[in-house]
Structure 1
Amino acid sequence: MQSSLFKNYAWLGMGLALVLLGMLVLAPLLIVFGTSLYTDQKLDLLAPLQIIRQSELSEVLFNSIWLGLCVIAATTVLAFPLAWVMAKTPLRRHKWLDIVLLIPFMTPPYIGSMGWMLFMQTNGYMEQFIPASSALTPAFFSFGGMVAIMSLHLFPFLYLLLRNALLQIGGSMEEAAAVHGGGFLYRLRRIVLPLLLSSYVMGSLLIFVKTIAEFGTPATFGRKIGFYVMTSEIHKYISSWPIDFGKATSLASVLLAACLVMWYIQSTISSRYSYRLVGGKGAIKQTATMSRWGWALCWMYIGVLLIASIGIPYFSIITASLLKLRGVGLAWDNLTLQHYVDLLTPGSASLEALLNSFGLSIVASTIAVVLGTWFALTVQRSRTPGQKLVDLFSLLPNTVPGIVIVVGLILLWNAKWMPIPLYNTYGMVVLTYVILFLPYTVQYVKASYGQIDPMLLQAGQVFGGRRLYVLRRILLPLLLPGMLAGWMMTFTIANRELVASLLVLPPSMKTSATYIFAQFEQGEVSMGMAMAVITVGITTVLLLAMNVFSSQQKVE
């Protein structure tokens, strides 16, 4: 018999949750679609495509699709050999590599691209180390360089999917093929690759969605090389004069439709084309033997990846934050900590931006935890249609591009009929953060709730505990780790959010992300990079603290 603390009020709570999610999440997306489809006082389902074609934005659409496909190819080249090495060779015992390899994925894309630009630009750090490398600068500042930067940011995502799938493939399958005369290439082609297909297709589609929805790298590197995609053009039509909501919503609706289609394909493939690789007898984990040359080659490959994805961007960012004069270049007497002192000086615009980020993130994280916990308790184990709808709507912001949601929120809260004047206020920023990052709290709290035995709640009721007592003394303490993890994750990501901050911040207000972006664009690179170091350092410490806390909870 299913136990529920809110059994008598389940339908009321579910109805309120659906209404609230409909207003916060679904309504902005519907307004984007409606604005793009309803033109000249009539409904036209092909209006977005016609506007894109007539406005010569078809090249932008093609650029986004081509960029997504190229990033898929590049991440495959980077991730597949690494996944095989970390799953099928003795190097898999080095678990610390999995944590280190997550650093590129957790680094804000716009900060990583800024680091690469500083390293590879004319008279950049690369040329200062190796003057002859100046011949590589034009080749890097091209479409290929943009693909490389985005691939180095996203390859850890595909790597983890492929590595986990390879670990599930039992060595007995490959041994059976080897006994019957199958060589390495035959086993790879007829056993390993077919079993990996579902995970690879799922990962590739997610990489495609993340690529076409990315704003940071196109806004920095893409603008530098004159390569424009849908996200950068949406931002231009919303933030630059003359403002054109028609073109912005047309691009946003096409981008949203493409992402939703990809998510549907991904869910279909993952549900239909999956294999049971774990049996009751357990799997034999086959470890390949390697020669000294094999060891050297694997470590060399991992080292090159770590240098390219972590070493170069962070070296450039930290070095730029320490330089007195950029024109002097790398020299010990040209290093200083003065930029950090200026940045943290009381009353400075930089410190105000940092404090704004902290304040907005704290408020948004707290609200997101309260709403996320409510939605997670409403969803419970998603057994009824109503619970499944709440679950779907609460996770929707994590499946669609953030810039599309932001455009919808602007249209919704800036409408003349809206009775609450929230647009162009601090409250609008907080609301945007809450909606964008609500799924993280819901997921963490759901995971904690799923580990609770219903008998604990039943026992509290059997011994006379009222609903509020059982909620306060049993359920909430057990949910607290998930709530704290969701709060910290929301705070971390909101603290460095760029696209939402650029579009919804009041004119006189800055956050750390917009400060970094503005300083880099205006040539004050050292101050911007000092802010980047502080921001990334704070978020890294919080993530490490969250991991330590989670590990302690598992041990207990």
Structure 2
Amino acid sequence: MHAESVEVRGVGLIQSLCIAALLMVVVLPVSFVVLQAIFPHLPEGSLRAPFSAIARTFGEQHLAQLLGNTVVLGLSVSLASLLLALPLAVLRGTRRLPGAKYWDLLFLIPFMIPPYIGAFSWVLSLQDNGYARQLFGWSAEGLLFSFPGIVLVMSLHLFPLVYFALSRSLMLIGKRFADAGKVCGASAFSSFLRITLPLSLPGMLASLLLVFALTVEEYGTPATLGKRSGFLVLVTSIEEKFAEWPIDLPGAALLSLALVALVLLAFWLQHYIVTRRSFITVAGKQRDEAAPELGRMRWPALGLFASVTLLATGIPIGATLACAFSRTLSGGLAWDNFGLRHFIAVFENRNGALDALFNSLWLAAATAIIAGILGALTAYVSARTRLRGRSLLDAFSALPNALPGMVVAVGMILAWNRSWWPVPIYNTPVVLLLAYICLMLPYPVRYVGAGLRQISQSLDAAARVCGATSGRVLWRILLPLIAPNLFISMLLVFAVASRELVASVMLAPTGMPTVATFVFNQFAQGSPGVGMALSVIAIFSSTAILVTVRQLFKHDEL
């Protein structure tokens, strides 16, 4: 009995540490956003005039326009992404596409390019005297700096989410349901439209939800293209309330809550639509079904894939490389203008370029380690114990899913920019690290939790029969089994954290640039060459690190 009580206390200690960490990293900043929205004089240490900022903020004439712009942008990018992805996914999921794996790889490349760098690449390509004019004699600056231009750029970055989700759903469904419809007299088009496509609806809606959420919380592209055209959204307006004098903390907090409400509403709508109908497409062992050939559609299909690849991958990569290797932007695309000048400037640490790369790498590595450990322990308590409070712990760990990066940054500012903290962390790298951990925490919790739920609890019971404690079961049995899930989640955290823009712009201490802030500032100052060179180094170095570690991981056979 004594040993059991000690073991329970040990697991309870892990749970208490996880709850304390989540309270500091997640709950505290969100609570301060809510408190600041209710009590506008909170920075003065006063709770007077509660709710007085609500009428002022939501009474602003441009607020309705901000909300409308945000919603319309999210819906438009979702629709455009669906229109781009649907024909590609149908061809990939229902036909034998030549070089299918290579097309998938090419569609993954845009995810290695941060969206703000992609936006900069489109500016370099389509602006007056840009690369399009130099090569073809035309430009599209008017289109680029407009609402359709913003939708186009963001859709080309996000459509692969819909493509992969929908194509995989169609592969899983197969052609047996459509064949059954044909037996009953339906045409091929009717079978697809009335049978196959509705069966893929859950995956499609889930991916469209993610596109909508990523669109309404994206800062880089609207800030790059929207401000110049006067198209403002909630995210850019929140940043302006911190950047412009007088600083409006209550207004920023209220707009942050409005942004969270918008994301939560999207989640609820998706859940409502999907749960109204349930489709079972896999029952028992599946037959291997050979997808039919494209036939006469072969070359049109390949032309479509090539065209979308050119727009989504070729132009951003090409413009980034061209700018990075050009000695001067005004020199244009000429052989005598190409050189390594900007790369030399990076390695000579001009303007702090190398410092920015180092800062991003160590912040991303620290985030991956801390978020991985915290996420693994949180998933363990939630999935493998029966302790009271584990559902609360699970809710805390899932909360960042509904928190846009701008809201997390606002919460960190409001929570840690206080004089009463014994150890001040605001305007230090610690507060930026906390923001990264908050944003990235759902990845290890989700991946490790999924791995733990696939492991039978009979292993735990057998180990305890042999005298093992919960700690030994976790260390010697569960950890080796979930190591692939944990490792993959940490790699994902590293890749995403190394390019994080919003938290870096809002929270990076003075004199501590990151890759995102450096590139953003270089482009804003009209000298994008060094910034693009740093982008190339950061993209390829992070990719090389991921590939190298992955190979080492496979070699160890963990």
Same fold by TM (over 0.5)?
yes
Contact preservation (8 Å) 2:94, 2:175: no
Task: Describe the SS at the equivalent of 2:65.
Answer: helix
Q: Map of 1:382-531 to 2, 5 A cutoff? A: 386-531=389-534
Question: Letter of the aligned partner of 2:452 in structure 1?
Answer: Y
Cα distance, 1:204–1:371 mapped onto 2, change above 3 Å: same
Question: Where does residue 246 of structure 2 map in the other structure?
Answer: 242
Deviation digits for residues 379-403 of structure 1 (CA, Å, limit 9, x no counterpart): 1258777333322221321332111
Question: Where does residue 539 of structure 2 map in the other structure?
Answer: 536
Question: Where does residue 189 of structure 2 map in the other structure?
Answer: 185
Percentage of pairs with the same residue: 36
1:20 aligns with 2:21: yes
- The 10-residue stretch of structure 1 (48-57 or 84-93) with the greater mean CA deviation from structure 2: 48-57
Instruction: State how far apart, in whole Å, the 2-side matches of 1:404 and 1:481 are.
Output: 31
Instruction: State how far apart, in whole Å, the 1-side matches of 2:473 and 2:130 are.
Output: 62
Contact preservation (8 Å) 1:169, 1:283: no
How many angstroms does 1:324 deviate by? 1.0
Instruction: State how far apart, in whole Å, the 2-side matches of 1:204 and 1:146 are.
Output: 17
Cα distance, 1:470–1:208 mapped onto 2, change above 3 Å: closer
Question: Where does residue 362 of structure 1 map in the other structure?
Answer: 365
Contact preservation (8 Å) 2:451, 2:482: yes
- The 10-residue stretch of structure 1 (509-518 or 451-460) with the greater mean CA deviation from structure 2: 451-460
1:126 aligns with 2:141: no
How many angstroms does 1:463 deviate by? 3.4
Task: Describe the SS at the equivalent of 2:190.
Answer: helix
Cα distance, 1:4–1:254 mapped onto 2, change above 3 Å: farther
Task: Describe the SS at the equivalent of 1:95.
Answer: helix
Question: Letter of the aligned partner of 1:66 in structure 2?
Answer: V
- The 10-residue stretch of structure 1 (414-423 or 446-455) with the greater mean CA deviation from structure 2: 446-455
- The 10-residue stretch of structure 1 (386-395 or 139-148) with the greater mean CA deviation from structure 2: 386-395
Instruction: State how far apart, in whole Å, the 1-side matches of 2:91 and 2:550 are.
Output: 25
Question: Letter of the aligned partner of 2:101 in structure 1?
Answer: K
Instruction: State how far apart, in whole Å, the 2-side matches of 1:375 and 1:113 are.
Output: 37
Instruction: State how far apart, in whole Å, the 1-side matches of 2:467 and 2:247 are.
Output: 62
Question: Where does residue 138 of structure 1 map in the other structure?
Answer: 142
Question: Where does residue 36 of structure 1 map in the other structure?
Answer: 37
Contact preservation (8 Å) 1:260, 1:400: no
How many angstroms does 1:20 deviate by? 3.1
CA RMSD of aligned residues (A): 2.7
How many angstroms does 1:363 deviate by? 2.4
- The 10-residue stretch of structure 1 (456-465 or 141-150) with the greater mean CA deviation from structure 2: 456-465
Instruction: State how far apart, in whole Å, the 1-side matches of 2:158 and 2:5 are.
Output: 41
Contact preservation (8 Å) 1:162, 1:199: yes
Instruction: State how far apart, in whole Å, the 1-side matches of 2:280 and 2:505 are.
Output: 46
Question: Where does residue 214 of structure 2 map in the other structure?
Answer: 210
Instruction: State how far apart, in whole Å, the 2-side matches of 1:382 and 1:76 are.
Output: 41
How many angstroms does 1:170 deviate by? 3.7
Instruction: State how far apart, in whole Å, the 1-side matches of 2:191 and 2:467 are.
Output: 62
Question: Letter of the aligned partner of 1:36 in structure 2?
Answer: A
Contact preservation (8 Å) 2:146, 2:225: no
Task: Describe the SS at the equivalent of 2:390.
Answer: helix
How many angstroms does 1:64 deviate by? 0.7
How many angstroms does 1:12 deviate by? 4.7
Question: Where does residue 151 of structure 1 map in the other structure?
Answer: 155
Contact preservation (8 Å) 1:170, 1:283: no
Question: Where does residue 77 of structure 2 map in the other structure?
Answer: 71
Question: Letter of the aligned partner of 2:213 in structure 1?
Answer: V
* Structure 2 unmatched ranges of 5 or more: 42-47
Question: Where does residue 346 of structure 2 map in the other structure?
Answer: 343
Task: Describe the SS at the equivalent of 1:535.
Answer: helix
Question: Where does residue 119 of structure 2 map in the other structure?
Answer: 113
Contact preservation (8 Å) 1:5, 1:471: no
- The 10-residue stretch of structure 1 (112-121 or 343-352) with the greater mean CA deviation from structure 2: 343-352
Contact preservation (8 Å) 1:322, 1:336: yes
1:81 aligns with 2:124: no
Q: Map of 1:86-105 to 2, 5 A cutoff? A: 86-91=92-97, 94-105=100-111
Question: Where does residue 255 of structure 1 map in the other structure?
Answer: 259
Cα distance, 1:547–1:92 mapped onto 2, change above 3 Å: farther
Contact preservation (8 Å) 2:144, 2:225: no
Instruction: State how far apart, in whole Å, the 1-side matches of 2:396 and 2:522 are.
Output: 37
For normalisation by structure 1, the TM-score amounts to: 0.91
Contact preservation (8 Å) 1:48, 1:251: no
How many angstroms does 1:512 deviate by? 1.3
How many angstroms does 1:7 deviate by? 4.2
Instruction: State how far apart, in whole Å, the 2-side matches of 1:382 and 1:300 are.
Output: 54
Cα distance, 1:158–1:509 mapped onto 2, change above 3 Å: same
How many angstroms does 1:93 deviate by? 6.8
Instruction: State how far apart, in whole Å, the 1-side matches of 2:5 and 2:548 are.
Output: 33
Question: Letter of the aligned partner of 2:523 in structure 1?
Answer: F
- The 10-residue stretch of structure 1 (521-530 or 502-511) with the greater mean CA deviation from structure 2: 502-511
How many angstroms does 1:331 deviate by? 0.9
Deviation digits for residues 195-248 of structure 1 (CA, Å, limit 9, x no counterpart): 233332332222211111111111212223221111111111113332111221
How many angstroms does 1:153 deviate by? 0.7
Contact preservation (8 Å) 2:177, 2:196: no
How many angstroms does 1:23 deviate by? 3.1
Cα distance, 1:383–1:313 mapped onto 2, change above 3 Å: farther
1:60 aligns with 2:63: no
Instruction: State how far apart, in whole Å, the 2-side matches of 1:49 and 1:76 are.
Output: 38
- The 10-residue stretch of structure 1 (445-454 or 504-513) with the greater mean CA deviation from structure 2: 445-454
Instruction: State how far apart, in whole Å, the 1-side matches of 2:534 and 2:208 are.
Output: 33
- The 10-residue stretch of structure 1 (386-395 or 78-87) with the greater mean CA deviation from structure 2: 386-395
Q: Map of 1:279-318 to 2, 5 A cutoff? A: 279-282=283-286, 285=289, 287-292=291-296, 294-318=297-321
Question: Letter of the aligned partner of 1:150 in structure 2?
Answer: M
Task: Describe the SS at the equivalent of 1:523.
Answer: coil
How many angstroms does 1:114 deviate by? 0.7
Cα distance, 1:551–1:87 mapped onto 2, change above 3 Å: farther
1:323 aligns with 2:329: no
For normalisation by structure 2, the TM-score amounts to: 0.91
Question: Letter of the aligned partner of 1:371 in structure 2?
Answer: L
Question: Where does residue 45 of structure 2 map in the other structure?
Answer: none
Task: Describe the SS at the equivalent of 2:59.
Answer: helix
Deviation digits for residues 294-345 of structure 1 (CA, Å, limit 9, x no counterpart): 1001101100111100100010001100111211211111100121111012
